[in-house]
Structure 1
C-alpha cells in the first residue's frame, strides 16, 4: 500500500514540537484541536510537560560509557528502545490510514504499536500490514459481549498485550471540541462551520477524506457510524462506556483474554495496589494526556508513589507530556520501565506520515543515547533515582 507523499511546508522538523507545527498547518482546526487539546483549562495537560521540565538529571563524567544499550523487555516483549506508540483514537482522520503508517514505523524501530478501540483502521488491517502484531487497547463497555468480541479479534491476530483503559468512567469536558462543534449541541450552523473547516484544507480532503477511505471506525463498524459524524460517535461513547466498572471486572477480562494485561490510567498508589491484587501484569501511570479530570497530578508527580506501592510485583509504565527522549529517561529514572507516547506520533503522522513517525522515534532514540552517555549509564535498565538530582 502506498500513501500520499509528503509535500514540503517550509519546515524541516527537528523535534516533536516541529511535528506539532506541521500538523497544525496540515489539519483542519477541529482535528488538530482534538489531538492538541485537553480537558477544562488544560492545567493537567500543561503540568505533564512542565513537571517533566522540572526534573533534573544528574550528569556524571569519566565513566566508561563506550558501549550503551537501549534494549529492554516489557511484558516479555523485546524492545529496541523503551518507547511504545500509545493508543490514539481517530488516528486515520489525521493522515491516510494513519494507524497502518504508524505501526509500520514502530515495527521498523523495534517498538510496539498499540491499536485503539476507536481507531479508523481495524486491528486486522494493522496486523496484516506488519509482521509484529499490535497491542490492543480496550475500553470496558456496557455491552460486554461486544467487548468480548473485540478481545477475540485481538487474540485472533496474535496481539500479545491487552491495554485496558480504566480512566474513562465519564468523559471530561474538552472545551476545544465543544468550540469546534465536535461535541455538545450541533446546530445546522455548527455543522456548516465544521464542514467549511474541512474543505478549507484541500490537501487533507484529497489525501485523507478521499484517499484515506473508508473513514469508519474499523473496530466498531457494526456499532458506530462513520468517523465524520463526531456527534453520533459521542452519543455511542456516552451509551457504551461503563461507569459501574470495578476491580472485580478484571476477573471478567481474564476469562476472555489469555495474553498479558496492562491497565492504563492509574494515578493513585492505592488504586495501583488494587490493580495488582486483581491480577494485572502491568500498569500505565497516566492521566489520559490531561484529557479527563483537570487539576489531577501529572504523570511525573504520580509515578514514584505508584512504583513504591507495587514494588517489583508488576511492571510500571508511564505516559504524558513526553516531548523528547530526555523525558523518557526522566520517567524511567522516576521508576517507569518504558514510556508510551501518543500526541508525539499523532502530530508526526499528520505532518509527514510514516516518515514523520520514524523521525520522531529516531529522535527519541538519539536523545536517550545522549542522556545515557552523559549520566554515566550504559543501559536503560540501570536508570533509577541515582540519575536524578
Structure 2
C-alpha cells in the first residue's frame, strides 16, 4: 500500500523481509570484560571504578588537596588547548613511538608512581606493571607501593623506581640499593612532598592503611563484597618497602619524610645512583635549572596531581618555560590532568617528551584489574593516533611544529 503525503513523498508500509536485516537483537552481556570493552574513554573507566570500589578508596584516588583547585585547573588547562591541523600531507598510520632515557617506548606515556595500589585492586602493582610491559612503556614503582621491588618482573628498560628523601638518610640509601639489586633502571625522586598535603576527602572518610573495620566500613562491605573479599583473602595489605607505617597516610608521611631536604641531598643521591635520575615535582624554569645542574637527567613538571600544595602552578602552563630552560640538557616530562590521548598530544606539542598518568590508569585498575589498565592504555593509544592523524602529524616531533597552542 502506497501513501502520498502533502510533500508528494512516497511512503509504504514496511514488510517483514525489509525489517529483518535491521534487527540486531542480542542477549545483554554483563561480564566485566564486556563492560571494559564498552568503555570508550577514561571517564567511562572512572564511572565503572566508582561503582566497584568503596567510597574511601575511590576518593583517595579521585581527590586532591584542600579545595582541589589545583586538580581542577589541571583538567581545565587541557580544555584550552587548540590544534592547528596540517592537511594534505600524505600521511598513513602515525608513529607513536619515542625514546625515554635512551630506551624505546611505544607511546609517550609512563605509568606514574602511585601509593597503596593494592587498595585499588588486589593485584595492585603486579597488574599495572604487567600491563605497562605489554604496552611497551615504562612503569614507575612507588616507595609507598604494596608490592616489593623484587616482585616487579618486567623488562629492565621499563622498570623505574620512585623514592623520597627520608629523615633517615640510611633508609633512602637502603631503598636505592634495593632498587639497583632488583634491576630497576631509573630512579625517580619526588621533591614536592616535604610534608603531607591536606587531603580533606581522606580525612572525612577516615581513610587508613590497612582499612579499619568500623561501623561505616562494615556497611560498605555489604555494598562492595567482592572488593572486601579480595582484601581479606589475599596477602596482608602493607607497604612492601617500609615498616611501621600503619594509620592515616598524612601522619605517616609527616613522620618519615624529610622537610629539611636540600639540593645537597639530590647531589648525594646522584653520587650513589649510577643510572638515570629523574626529579619529579618542579614547576618553574629556575627550579628545573637547579635540579638539572645538580645531576638530574630528566625532570617531571608536576604538582603531584594537585594532591600537595593547592593552587600550585598548573603543569601544562608551566611546561613551556621549563622546556625552554632545560630541554637541551635534560628530558622533560609532565603529569597532571592527563585524561586522554589528545591531552598527551597537546603536552608533547608544547614540549614534553612524555606524560605520566596516575589517576587515569588507576581508574582502569579499579574497574577491572590488569585488563582495566590494559583498556586504559588502549584508549590512550587510540586517541593519540586519531588526534595525530586529524592534526596532520606523522611523528610525535611534528606536533611541536606549530600544531598545538594554549589559549590564555
TM over 0.5: yes
What runs of 5+ residues in structure 2 fail to find an aligned partner? 1-30
1:351 CA drift (Å): 0.6
How big is the alpha-carbon RMSD for the aligned residues of Structure 1 and Structure 2? Answer: 1.9
Distance verdict in 2 for CA 1:198–1:312, change over 3 Å: farther
1:304 CA drift (Å): 0.7
Measured in 2, the distance between the counterparts of 1:378 and 1:8 equals: 32
Deviations 1:327-361 (A, max 9, x none): 00000111100010000111101111111111111
Contact kept, 8 Å, 1:319 with 1:340, in 2: the verdict is yes
Select the residue among 10, 24, 39 that pairs with 1:13: 39
2:92 match: secondary structure: coil
Contact kept, 8 Å, 2:123 with 2:369, in 1: the verdict is no
Corresponding residue for residue 78 of structure 2: 52
Structure number, greater radius of gyration? 2
Measured in 1, the distance between the counterparts of 2:247 and 2:252 equals: 10
Select the residue among 200, 210, 215 that pairs with 2:237: 215
Corresponding residue for residue 182 of structure 2: 157
Q: Does 1:230 align with 2:251?
A: no
Q: Give matches, 1:1-389, under 5 Å.
A: 6=32, 12-127=38-153, 130-132=154-156, 134-182=159-207, 191-198=214-221, 200-207=223-230, 209-220=231-242, 223-225=243-245, 229-231=246-248, 233-384=249-400, 386-389=402-405
Higher alpha-carbon deviation: 191-200 or 134-143 = 191-200
1:137 match: secondary structure: strand
1:382 CA drift (Å): 2.8
1:322 CA drift (Å): 0.9
2:189 match: secondary structure: strand
Contact kept, 8 Å, 2:196 with 2:250, in 1: the verdict is no
Distance verdict in 2 for CA 1:11–1:22, change over 3 Å: farther
Contact kept, 8 Å, 2:146 with 2:238, in 1: the verdict is yes
1:22 CA drift (Å): 1.1
1:196 CA drift (Å): 3.7
1:198 CA drift (Å): 4.4
Q: How many residues align?
A: 371
Contact kept, 8 Å, 1:334 with 1:385, in 2: the verdict is no
Measured in 2, the distance between the counterparts of 1:274 and 1:192 equals: 50
Measured in 1, the distance between the counterparts of 2:60 and 2:247 equals: 11
What runs of 5+ residues in structure 1 fail to find an aligned partner? none
1:205 match: secondary structure: helix
Contact kept, 8 Å, 1:94 with 1:349, in 2: the verdict is yes
Measured in 2, the distance between the counterparts of 1:321 and 1:212 equals: 32
Measured in 2, the distance between the counterparts of 1:363 and 1:95 equals: 20
Corresponding residue for residue 10 of structure 2: none
Contact kept, 8 Å, 1:165 with 1:264, in 2: the verdict is yes
Does 1 or 2 have the higher relative contact order (CA < 8 Å, sep 6+)? 1
Contact kept, 8 Å, 1:30 with 1:197, in 2: the verdict is no
Deviations 1:112-137 (A, max 9, x none): 1110111111111123xx34462101
Measured in 2, the distance between the counterparts of 1:230 and 1:176 equals: 16
Deviations 1:85-123 (A, max 9, x none): 001111111111211001111000000111011111111
